[in-house]
């Protein structure tokens, strides 16, 4: 049965997909001119993906998915937002990366629509806070991998979310629903749809993956972010820093696990 809060979030993601697609921070134009939207971090973690089957969870309009396809991976992107999947398919046509495939699904329900196993499962940059049930999420990740397959997560660190993004405490098990929020990419755009986010702890994320049967091979914490958290943050390459320089608490979390 569809998760009510996730469905409400779907309306919000449908509302903002074109705002993101057209925002310079998303590198859509560079991608269409033959470039890549991928950052050094995931490129160095995953290395050569050519010929590998690759599942990208919560892929929005598929820019990173298609960038992995451009590196030779056989990609499937998944997102809950129908409008994002529509745009992903348009970008696929425009870029001629015709082997890419996009599936609209709540990630928690994915196994009922996609009964396949992949060499890589990948999820990045602004995802876990949108999921109500991490036990079920981790099971979907584990069930989607081939034996020996690799899962890579790069996301907001739970400390960063608790300090910068929500009013929830680090340890909160509640969700937070907000109305009339400025979009995080284009702050002049006020969303008319409410959104609900969840706070998860680092231990909670790791334990869900362990309980789903995955072997965690690497955990990383970073003192920079992947986006301009506040307007006075500055960037070096594809890393964003607070005005004082390096953050005093972790802003991003990386988890690498195998089945
Ligand atoms: C911040 S974006 C992540 C974008 C990603 N880093 C990218 O561009 O490749 C979050 C995405 O998660 C999707 N999403 C949110 N809740 C979801 C769910 N329950 N199942 C699948 N996708 C979801 C949204 O539609 C949105 O496209």
Domain residue spans of the chain: 4-258
Encode 81-101: b = buried (16+ Cβ within 10 Å), e = exposed.
Answer: bebbbebbbebbeebebeebb
Mutate to test the pocket of ligand 1, among 16, 80, 123, 195 (most ligand atoms within 8 A of CB): 80
**Cα-to-centroid distance, 158 and ligand 1 (Å):** 17
Q: Whose CA is nearest to atom 27 of ligand 1?
A: 60
Q: Report residue 53 as tokens.
A: 């089957």
What angle (nearest 5°) sits at the alpha carbon of residue 100, between those of residues 144 and 50? Answer: 75
CATH, domain range 4-258:
3.40.50.150
CA neighbor of 58 nearest in space, from 13, 114, 25: 13
User: What are the helix (H) ranges across 145-232?
Assistant: 158-160, 202-211
Q: Whose CA is nearest to atom 18 of ligand 1?
A: 106
pLDDT at 1: 66
In this prediction, the residues of the chain whose per-residue pLDDT falls under 70 are 1
- Contact indicator for 232, 244 with CB cutoff of 8 Å: no
Q: Report residue 96 as tokens.
A: 């001629």
Q: Report residue 182 as tokens.
A: 């400025």
What spatial distance separates the first Cα and last Cα of the chain, rounded to whole Å? 28
pLDDT at 186: 86
CB within 8 Å of 19: residues ≥ 6 apart: 183, 185, 186, 189
Instruction: Indicate if ligand 1 lies below 6 Å from the C-beta of 222.
Output: no
- Contact indicator for 211, 140 with CB cutoff of 8 Å: no
Task: Look at the block and give the residue holding tokens 């109305």.
Answer: 179
CB within 8 Å of 203: residues ≥ 6 apart: none
- Contact indicator for 141, 121 with CB cutoff of 8 Å: yes
Burial of 190 (C-beta count, 10 Å sphere; 0-12/13-18/19+): exposed
- Contact indicator for 95, 13 with CB cutoff of 8 Å: no
Beta bridge partners of 51: none
**Cα-to-centroid distance, 242 and ligand 1 (Å):** 25
Instruction: Indicate if ligand 1 lies below 6 Å from the C-beta of 229.
Output: no
pLDDT in tens, 138-164: 999 999 999 999 999 999 999 999 999
What is the DSSP secondary structure assignment for residue 201, as one 8-state letter? -
- Contact indicator for 122, 108 with CB cutoff of 8 Å: no
- What number does the ligand 1 atom closest to the CA of 64 have? 9
Q: Report residue 257 as tokens.
A: 């696990």
On the CB side of 210, CA atoms within 13 Å amount to: 10
């Amino acid at each position: 049965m569809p998760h009510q809060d996730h469905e409400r979030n779907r309306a919000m993601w449908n509302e903002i997909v074109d705002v993101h697609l057209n925002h310079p921070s998303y590198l859509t134009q560079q991608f269409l001119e033959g470039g890549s939207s991928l950052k050094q971090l995931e490129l160095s973690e995953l290395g050569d993906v050519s010929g590998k089957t690759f599942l990208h969870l919560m892929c929005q309009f598929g820019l990173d998915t298609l960038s992995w396809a451009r590196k030779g991976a056989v990609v499937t992107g998944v997102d809950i937002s129908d409008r994002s999947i529509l745009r992903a398919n348009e970008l696929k046509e425009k870029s001629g990366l015709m082997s890419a495939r996009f599936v609209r699904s709540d990630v928690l329900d994915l196994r009922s629509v996609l009964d396949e196993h992949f060499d890589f499962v990948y999820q990045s940059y602004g995802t876990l806070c949108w999921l109500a049930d991490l036990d079920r999420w981790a099971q979907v990740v584990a069930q989607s991998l081939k034996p020996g397959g690799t899962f890579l997560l790069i996301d907001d660190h739970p400390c960063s979310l608790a300090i910068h993004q929500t009013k929830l405490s680090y340890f909160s098990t509640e969700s937070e629903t907000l109305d009339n929020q400025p979009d995080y990419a284009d702050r002049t755009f006020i969303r008319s749809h409410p959104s609900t986010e969840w706070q998860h702890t680092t231990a909670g994320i790791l334990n869900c993956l362990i309980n789903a049967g995955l072997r965690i091979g690497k955990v990383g914490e970073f003192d920079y972010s992947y986006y301009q958290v506040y307007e006075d943050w500055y960037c070096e390459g594809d890393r964003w820093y607070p005005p004082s320089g390096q953050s005093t608490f972790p802003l991003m979390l990386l988890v690498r696990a195998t089945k």
